[in-house]
Amino acid sequence: MKSHKKNRTIKRMFLWTAIILVCIISLFPFYWMVRSSLMTKTEIFGTPMRWVPEVPQWDNYSEALTRIPFMRYFWNSFLLVILNIVGKVLSSSLVAFGFSRIEFKGRNIWFALVIMTMMIPWSVLLIPQFMLWSQVGLYNTYFPLFFPAFFVDGFYVFLLRQFFATLPREYDEAAIIDGAGYFQIYSRILLPMCKPALMTVCVFTFMNTWNDFIGPMIYLKDTDKFTVSLGLQQFISQYTTEWHYMMAAATVAIMPMLVMFFFAQRYFIEGMNFAGVKG
């Protein structure tokens, strides 16, 4: 009996050692980023290295933020985030409603095709989409970066269709008896009930848009149109040895994502769980 208990204590110790180790690995780069963002240049290059700055250099932040118009980039990124969220929520919910609530001819084939869009590698679409947008004269505008959101996203359509399937059909039937059309059933009855799933769409769209680098890099030319990711990349390539400023800029670029994550992580987890369940 006693040895059993001892055995369990040892197991717990191993478990927590492993957990703490993984936590350190996960958090260390963030700690190192913030630590370096508050140091002077001499401290950064000094040996032996310091774990914390002697005097936190808060001025690094204002310096980094003035070297490149970060405030402008924040606004640009937020604008794109909002436009993408509106587009994805509208289009995915409409399409998912059609696939789950209306029995029309060819429904299963079209649904399969929409799902298949998820399997198409983005790198295959990259060049022809670029050629398409530049042919219609919309290179160096935000159109290529938000307009497609208003049409199709296989993952979100699938997610919302699964969610609609959990809502009882009796709601639709009652509404039809009351004389409602499909659009009323969609907008007045089902949409308000799938807020959690829509939140998942919102948080993932926020993340993907905020973190997107390749899209803005390919489509934007004027620096005043840049997004945070693109601006940060410019910063990194220009100030290669000024790590303290670079780390301050990176900290600022990460912040909105972190804040959003801490408030909405429930929806992130739900979305990830869903990704696994479908596999």
Partner 1 sequence: MRKEHKKMSLAARRRNVAGYLFIAPALIGMSLFYVFPMLFSFGTSFTDWNLMTTPSFVGGDNYMELMNDSVYLKSIRVTFYYTLLAVPLSNIYALLMAMLLNAKIRGRSVVRTIFYVPSIVPAVASAGVWMYIFNPYNGFLNQIFLQLGFDPKMWIYDSKQVIPCIVAMAIWAAGGTAVIYLAALQGVPSELHEAVAIDGGNGLHKFFYITVPMISPIIFYNLIMGVINSMQVFTQGYIMTDGGPNNGSLFYVLLLYRRAFEQTKMGTACAMAWILFFILGILTLLNFALSRKWVYYGG
**194-213 binders of partner 1 (CB under 8 A):** 207, 210-211, 213
Backbone angles phi, psi at 243, to 5 degrees: -60, -35
Q: Answer yes or no whether residue 214 interacts with partner 1 by CB under 8 A.
A: yes
Q: For residue 15, state whether it binds partner 1 (rule: CB under 8 A).
A: yes
User: Could you tell me how far CA 210 lies from the centroid of its own chain?
Assistant: 6
Contact 131, 144 (CB under 8 A): no
Q: Is 254 in the site for partner 1 (CB under 8 A)?
A: yes
Considering only 109, 112, 119, 177, the residue that binds partner 1 (CB under 8 A) is: 119
- 18: exposed, middle or buried (C-beta count within 10 Å: 0-12, 13-18, 19+)? exposed
Using the rule CB under 8 A, which residue among 13, 125, 165, 174 binds partner 1?
125
Q: Which of 108, 123, 168, 170 contacts partner 1 by CB under 8 A? A: 123
The reply to whether 84 sits near partner 1 by the rule CB under 8 A is no
Sign of CA dihedral 186, 192, 196, 198: positive
Minimum distance between the CB of residue 55 and partner 1, rounded to whole angstroms? 19
Please list every residue from 40 through 59 that binds partner 1, using CB under 8 A: 44-45, 47-49
Judged by CB under 8 A, which of 10, 132, 174, 259 binds partner 1?
Answer: 132
Query: What is the C-alpha separation between 273 and 217, in angstroms, rounded?
Result: 31
Q: Measured between alpha carbons, how far is 205 from 229 in angstroms, rounded to an integer?
A: 15
Q: Does 262 bind partner 1 (CB under 8 A)?
A: yes
